[in-house]
Structure 1
Amino acid sequence: MTTVNLALGTMHFGTRLDERSSFDLLDRFVAAGGTMIDTANCYAFWSDPSGAGGQSERVIGRWLARRPGVRDRVYLSTKVGAEPIGAGEWPGNREGLSAPAIKAAVQDSLRRLGTDRIDLYWTHMEDRVAPLEDTVGALADLAGSGTVGRLGCSNHPTWRVERARQIARSNGWAGYTALQLRHSYLKPRPDTPVPGHDHRFGWATDEVVDYVHSDPELTLWAYTALLNGAYTRADRPLPEAYRHPATTRRMAALTEVAGELGVSPNQVVLAWLAGGDPAVTSIVGVSDATQLDEALAGVALVLTDEHRGRLDAAG
């Protein structure tokens, strides 16, 4: 069966989405050739009365336990660094990226997921209190022991990513080979707040895309690729930050290409990301089978050079 360049986002599994619905989506995803499942140890602390995360990992763990053999067919991706601990308000009370925090968090994630390894382990938010050498060393220890496979970072400034990779290289350690950032076809105005986005360095800027393009070791994963439904749903308008001339031109091109291909704008966006250079792995959170099928069809769509060129030139 052909695998697909799409990660199933499971942020709301076990909170907004009940276990049965979560299991159904996981089953449908794997049956369609999906392998990459993305979660985090902090999902979704803001939706749970306990104020703690771990619900998504627990649901995935129970799903795996009831489906013998499936673990070897999927690629588990989870994160460390943003789980709230103790008193205080988030993000001031997050666990951070000290060596002890990483080592404790990975064991908790393994237990909740019911597995002995994590295929891709992300540092979720940067931590400028913990020495970067300690963070990089702790991650390298996990990779060296086989507890985790690849290492990635989410919502980090590019200079910190490269500094961490230089530390790893100079010590002969495993280092970051993946970036996870917010990325889509439409872009907000620079330096303009976007409601619901808390990460200062959480955007895949042109510099980031060029950085990934220049290094064949790096891959880019994109979250919020479909802008929370704004491409297709009238009840999900774009935030004010996206209201500028380039958006008007890009939406016109997107609508034209989607109409010519007989597909949805969402599918064109996912095809544009998956078929780009560098190819981008979109993380798509869905709540029903229709949304999942649309996403799967989107990453399977191959844009012609003419269509891609028109999309690229529109703004």
Structure 2
Amino acid sequence: MNTTNPRIVLGTMGFGTQVDSATAFAILDSFVAGGGDWLDTANCYSFWADPSGVGGASERVIGAWLAARPGARDAVRIATKVRQNPLVPHSWPDSAEGLSARAVHAGMEESLERLGVDHVDMLWAHAEDRTVPLEETVGAFGELVAKGVALRVGAANHPAWRVERARSLAREQGAEPWTALQLRHSLAQPRPLTPLAEGGHRLLTAEDLDLARAEGLEVWAYSSLLWGAYTRQDKPFPETYDHPGTTRVLTVLDEVAGEVSATKNQVVLAWLLHQGVAPIVGVSRVEQAEEALAARDVRLDDHHLARFEAAR
């Protein structure tokens, strides 16, 4: 796995919908001031919360912030995604754009326009699209890198075998391969082999980690703090997390947080960073961004890590 200096990534899914522009600007300012640099968005964010029924709000807010902050583009790296944006308002997944070459190129062009930039630093395939030959998708992503509008490309919510197949196809085509994985991962885990309630989510697996280690791929984790469940009584863990392992992990988490004088969220983020995983943290307030960035200074020793491993 590529463990070179994994970063805290700012998740911006709610910007422009659940998080108003003024608050989003303040969060972005604070994140950059605190040394954060990666922003994660998607062209579909957040169609389910937008009266328009389509995505684009998050990218537009980021674009407006960049336009209002001279020099900000040089201070941040932007990751966005194509695949899930509805082409017909309020019609998802039936009208989701997919991963045809035409959809990938159109999605990228529209994202660049909303962001007001000439390139993104990472473009993700947001989910699989098995209605399209993988060769076509791989070629389209490679073309965007060749054009310079995406510096790197990665796969979100794809199984390891499909990622490796895509990388092999990229080599055959002489195209830029996917070099990063984005999957759901956190300290607490749901019951094994239990379907997730959240549609489209795919958990990080041992096979994914094997691939990442063998191929030197970066790994990013979304839902890293499980929507606040570690710290908020009003945000309970999903039902699939109701098992003895969660109880054990939370007991150790309480103990370790006290021992290292950190919040429980910071310990979870520090644990992910120690695994070589870049956690994506969605926030709605400035203080949440500050708390997340402070996790970089939390030091977990071998004893702490062993206790977590035994509990899980």
Q: Work out whether the TM-score is over 0.5.
A: yes
> Deviation digits for residues 29-49 of structure 1, max 9, x if unmatched?
000110000000000101111
The answer to whether the 8 Å contact 1:37/1:75 transfers is yes
Residues 150-229 of structure 1: matches in 2 within 5 Å? 150-195=152-197, 197-199=198-200, 202-216=202-216, 218-229=217-228
What's the counterpart of residue 254 of structure 1?
253
1:300 positional shift: 2.8
The answer to whether the 8 Å contact 1:4/1:296 transfers is no
> Deviation digits for residues 67-86 of structure 1, max 9, x if unmatched?
11110111000000000112
What's the counterpart of residue 27 of structure 2?
25
1:215 positional shift: 2.1
What's the counterpart of residue 68 of structure 1?
70
Q: For 2:90 and 2:221, how far apart are their aligned partners in 1?
A: 30
What's the counterpart of residue 301 of structure 2?
304
The answer for unaligned runs of 5 or more in structure 1 is none
What's the counterpart of residue 245 of structure 1?
244
1:131 positional shift: 1.1
- Report the RMSD for the aligned CA atoms in angstroms: 1.4
Q: Structure 2: which amino acid aligns with 1:295? A: A
The answer to whether the 8 Å contact 1:143/1:174 transfers is yes
Q: For 1:71 and 1:253, how far apart are their aligned partners in 2?
A: 40
Q: For 1:19 and 1:87, how far apart are their aligned partners in 2?
A: 22
Instruction: Indicate the percent of aligned positions where both proteins have the same amino acid.
Output: 53
Bigger CA drift: 48-57 or 252-261?
Answer: 252-261
The residue matched to 2:121 in structure 1 has which SS? Answer: strand
| Pair 1:87–1:20, CA change in 2 (3 A) | closer
The answer to whether the 8 Å contact 1:272/1:303 transfers is yes
User: Which residue among 134, 137, 148 is the counterpart of 2:136?
Assistant: 134
Q: For 1:256 and 1:301, how far apart are their aligned partners in 2?
A: 14
The answer to whether the 8 Å contact 1:122/1:151 transfers is yes
1:292 positional shift: 1.1
The residue matched to 2:152 in structure 1 has which SS? Answer: strand
The answer to whether the 8 Å contact 2:54/2:90 transfers is no
Q: Structure 1: which amino acid aligns with 2:107? A: A
1:88 positional shift: 7.5
Bigger CA drift: 14-23 or 233-242?
Answer: 233-242
User: Which residue among 86, 89, 95 is the counterpart of 2:88?
Assistant: 86
Count of residue pairs brought into register by the alignment: 308
The answer for unaligned runs of 5 or more in structure 2 is none
1:260 positional shift: 1.0
The answer to whether the 8 Å contact 2:52/2:89 transfers is no
1:213 positional shift: 2.1
Question: Is 1:289 aligned to residue 286 of structure 2?
Answer: yes
The answer to whether the 8 Å contact 1:271/1:301 transfers is yes
1:89 positional shift: 3.5
| Pair 1:88–1:54, CA change in 2 (3 A) | closer
Q: For 1:22 and 1:30, how far apart are their aligned partners in 2?
A: 12
The residue matched to 1:257 in structure 2 has which SS? Answer: helix
1:306 positional shift: 1.5
User: Which residue among 142, 148, 151 is the counterpart of 2:150?
Assistant: 148
User: Which residue among 38, 41, 56 is the counterpart of 1:39?
Assistant: 41
Q: For 1:302 and 1:289, how far apart are their aligned partners in 2?
A: 23
Q: Structure 2: which amino acid aligns with 1:222? A: A
1:87 positional shift: 6.8
Q: For 2:300 and 2:146, how far apart are their aligned partners in 1?
A: 40
